[in-house]
A and B are shown apart, each in its own frame.
Chain A
Amino acid sequence: MHDRLMLRRLPPISPITFSLAVALAALVIVSAGQVAPSPGQLAGGIPRMANLVDRMMPPNLEPDFLLRVFWRMVETFQIALVGTVVGVVLSLPFAWLSARDITPIGPFRHISRMLVSLFRTVPDLVWALLFVSAVGLGAVAGTMTIVIDTIGFCGRFFAEAMEDADKKPQEALFAIGAKRFSVLCGAVLPDAMPSLINTTLFALEKAVRSSVVLGLVGAGGIGQELKVAFDLFQYRNASTIILVIFAIVVVMELATDRLRSKVQ
């Protein structure tokens, strides 16, 4: 009795679902054969990894080197901070242009949205490569990358926050003839503010993490130092840098979490 009820409630698997599942499983198995490590590679890799970790120990703590890492870290922060601030400021007009019902340009808002999507979907390392070719090696390329990355992220979430803002005050202000820009500044932005601040803090956190790796393609910051360390087989330097990065990212997350909990 019970069983029959249960059976009736469970929908049977359709042939289409079944074939799709089989196809998917086949795809995973074939792909794994090509890109996953074989047992042999794993067996050989683990000792080599252990050997590498061994050569990384102890981390290099010479004052000279630490000082260099310190300044590289400062540079990383500068890239992240300047990039985020400029990015956030530029995100506001992008978001305004993109937001449904709030945009001053009607259906043309999709152009702005597509631009923001483009900024977001192209990975940051690719932007970094582009900017390094355009303006040369160094922190400037890194900052520009973070700016673009931040617009891609904040431009989208700012627009959503604006769309979610309370409509009633906007209607009340439009009724008395307020301009779109006045409604934006007087009603939409104040209402969206907690969300804007949250997004900004996430963007900053994200920017610190990306600015750490940007150096790998020559766009300045601590990543550059890490690449040099690996290229020159200076594994003890590398481990210091990795530890510093780890510490910074954790501190950053704690700090932004803390700030976020203050916003309401």
Chain B
Amino acid sequence: MTAIILARDLAKNYPNGKAVFSNIGLNIVARERVALIGSNGAGKSTLLKCLIGLLPSSDGEIVTLGERFRSTPSLAQLQRIRRQIGFVFQHHGLVNRQSVLTNVLQGKLGLPGGWRAWHHSIAKQHWREEAMQSLADVRLLDKAGARADALSGGQAQRVAIARALVRRPKLLIADEPAASLDPTAGRDVMSIFSDLALEHGITFIYTTHDMQHALEYSDRIIALKAGKVFFDRSTADVTRADLRDVFDA
């Protein structure tokens, strides 16, 4: 099985002296759907950023998508890593006054010739088709021409997924993608992620505070507690009691 992310003895201290975690070891392989859980401030977001080179780690070694680095990847490595990743955050981060189609296309920014993703009117034809395909994947084809600020929160988050998907990523990273959605829209977004990951063979790593989401849409759960990996096991083997322990003081 191809390794997507390998981490050994990983530690992170913020410059202000705050030690977030240490001695973290991870091995995430292709096509896995991984839920990262832990209480507020446990270091989930920080860990995600370190793994993809957006934040320097303080110690340990990381191999992400075949790029081996300590602390931070080189600029060339970072670029190669980014090209294979799609991101979705808690806030969709769409450009309000642009069309849905343009927002999806903007997932191509940062690729060679990326300036043609400024606006759908100047995009390459096949990019536009890929963007439409991504919109179809999140079931929003009929909204392609709508302005982003006319969407509901759930729809906007699905557009954000389409924007990540149009990059044809090997790895999808989502930091609390359902946290600001109502239960129905939240499940909807999570199941779209999960289906797409399975269908396209994308590795999917997400953080969540919703244990139902963690159990339902993952193959594996990694729990952080007190700066360590509290447990890391296949979702089928995780019990309710395990989950409770993660959040007990």
What residues of chain A have their CB less than 8 Å away from a CB belonging to chain B? 166, 168-169, 171-173, 175-179, 181-183, 185-187, 190-191, 193-194
Contacts and interface: CB of A to CB of B under 8 A. Distances in A.
B79 interface: yes
A186 B95 contact: yes
Contacts of A186: 95, 98, 102, 106, 109, 117-119
A172 B97 contact: no
Given A178-B109, A182-B114, 13 more contacts: A168-B91, A169-B95, A172-B163, A175-B82, A178-B106, A179-B115, A185-B115, A185-B118, A186-B106, A186-B109, A190-B97, A191-B97, A193-B97
A168 B118 CA distance: 16
A21 to B, nearest CB: 48
Given A187-B95, A190-B95, A191-B97, A173 B118 contact: no
A172 B201 CA distance: 24
A178 B114 CA distance: 8
7 contacts: A169-B93, A169-B95, A173-B93, A176-B86, A176-B109, A177-B79, A178-B114
A187 B107 CA distance: 12
A169 B118 CA distance: 13
Interface in B168-210: none
B94 to A, nearest CB: 6
B96 A172 contact: no
Contacts of A181: 115
Interface string B101-114: 01000110110001
B172 to A, nearest CB: 12
A176 B82 contact: yes
Nearest to B115: A182
B110 A178 contact: yes
Interface in B62-115: 78-79, 82-83, 85-87, 89, 91-98, 102, 106-107, 109-110, 114-115
Nearest to B91: A168
A249 B193 CA distance: 58
B238 interface: no
Nearest to A183: B109
A194 B149 CA distance: 15
A193 B94 CA distance: 16
B167 interface: yes
B19 interface: no
Contacts of A194: 97
B114 A179 contact: yes
A172 B110 contact: no
Nearest to B83: A177
Given A175-B87, A177-B82, A177-B83, A182 B93 contact: no
The 9 closest A-B CB pairs, nearest first, are: A172-B93, A177-B110, A178-B109, A177-B82, A168-B93, A185-B118, A169-B95, A178-B110, A186-B118
B54 interface: yes
Nearest to A172: B93
B239 to A, nearest CB: 35
Contacts of A171: 93
B89 A172 contact: yes
B109 A182 contact: yes
A172 B106 CA distance: 10
Nearest to B90: A168
Quick one: which of B85, B93, B95, B119 has the most chain A CB within 10 A? B95
A179 B110 contact: yes
Nearest to B111: A177
B175 to A, nearest CB: 10
A39 B65 CA distance: 87
A254 B119 CA distance: 33
Contacts of A178: 106, 109-110, 114
A191 B96 contact: yes
